[in-house]
């Protein structure tokens, strides 16, 4: 029998998550559970004819002892350390450090180098900023609260590209960035303000906690943090994750 990982107060059991063609198995650090996972994979191979790709499969420990190396050998998987990448999203890193965001900023910078701003009209530059500069960090913005210094750097890249600021020198800035981010009905250019965008995406988690009735993710948060009730109470706890603290900050902004 596979011994599932149990989440805190309500002992919500988690043993498997699937997304697209990826499968993640969770179990306690015991040889018996690992053998069960291996048996399941062998049964899957016999039934479907599909073989596990060991080069792409990894196993990671969370607070277990030296037994981890032995368990990884049983599965014939490579080991994995944090932070690691999943769907281009860094998992396990500290988003409160600027280094965590370096890859996002660098991607934006590389994208801008490919575009020749002086050969593109103002409307074209505006469309490129809206379509690409927000599409690249979307995963990060929907899960992590962006640092102020990182936010300012991204706004600087957007602003310089919009006004055509390149190596040939600084161009005329025709309006403040606050005005640019206003709607067209109010006289702006309809640019999305990255701070408001980030807060809105994080606020969606709070909305879903309050209105969605079922879901494993909701059950896990209810068991670990008491769900939206804990957000509402603004109770501070040393066991809160950085992500949960960010949601509490977002909640307080609405008050």
pLDDT, position 255: 52
pLDDT, position 170: 63
Distance between CA atoms of residues 152 and 142, nearest Å: 18
Write out the H or E segment, with its range, that includes residue 225: helix 216-225
pLDDT, position 165: 61
pLDDT, position 202: 92
pLDDT means over runs of 10, the chain (255 residues) = 77 83 82 86 88 82 74 82 77 86 86 70 82 75 91 88 66 83 87 90 90 86 83 80 89 71
- Chain centroid to Cα 84, Å, comes to 12
pLDDT, position 254: 55
Length of the chain in terms of residues written: 255
DSSP letter at 134 equals T
pLDDT, position 66: 66
Radius of gyration of the chain, Cα coordinates, nearest whole angstrom: 23
DSSP letter at 185 equals G
Half-sphere exposure of 68 (CA within 13 A, CB side): 13
pLDDT, position 169: 58
Q: Is-cis flag, bond preceding 129, omega within 30?
A: no
Burial class (CB in 10 A: 0-12, 13-18, 19+), 58: middle
pLDDT, position 168: 54
Distance between CA atoms of residues 72 and 74, nearest Å: 5
pLDDT, position 37: 86
Distance between CA atoms of residues 35 and 195, nearest Å: 47
For residues 179 and 186, the answer to whether their CB atoms sit within 8 Å is: no
**E-assigned strand segments in 41-189:** 58-59, 78-79, 84-86, 89-91
Q: For residue 13, which phi and psi values (nearest 5 degrees)?
A: -90, 130
């Amino acid at each position: 029998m596979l011994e599932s990982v149990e989440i805190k107060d309500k002992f919500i059991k988690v043993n498997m998550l699937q997304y697209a063609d990826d499968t993640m198995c969770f179990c306690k650090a015991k040889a018996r559970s690992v053998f069960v996972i291996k048996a399941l994979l062998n049964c899957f191979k016999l039934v479907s004819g599909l073989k596990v790709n060991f080069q792409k499969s990894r196993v990671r420990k969370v607070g277990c002892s030296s037994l981890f190396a032995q368990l990884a050998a049983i599965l014939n998987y490579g080991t994995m350390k944090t932070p690691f990448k999943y769907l281009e999203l860094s998992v396990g890193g500290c988003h409160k450090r600027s280094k965590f965001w370096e890859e996002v900023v660098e991607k934006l910078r590389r994208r801008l180098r490919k575009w020749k701003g002086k050969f593109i009209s103002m409307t074209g530059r505006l469309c490129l900023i809206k379509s690409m500069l927000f599409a690249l960090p979307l995963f990060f913005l929907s899960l992590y609260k962006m640092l102020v210094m990182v936010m300012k750097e991204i706004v600087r890249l957007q602003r310089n590209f919009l006004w055509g600021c390149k190596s040939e020198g600084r161009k005329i800035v025709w309006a403040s960035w606050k005005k640019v981010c206003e709607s067209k009905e109010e006289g702006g250019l309809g640019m999305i303000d990255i701070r408001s965008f980030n807060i809105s995406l994080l606020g969606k988690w709070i909305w879903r906690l309050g209105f969605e009735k079922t879901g494993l993710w909701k059950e896990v948060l209810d068991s670990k943090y008491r769900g939206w009730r804990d957000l509402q109470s603004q109770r501070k706890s040393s066991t809160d994750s950085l992500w949960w603290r960010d949601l509490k900050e977002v909640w307080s902004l609405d008050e």
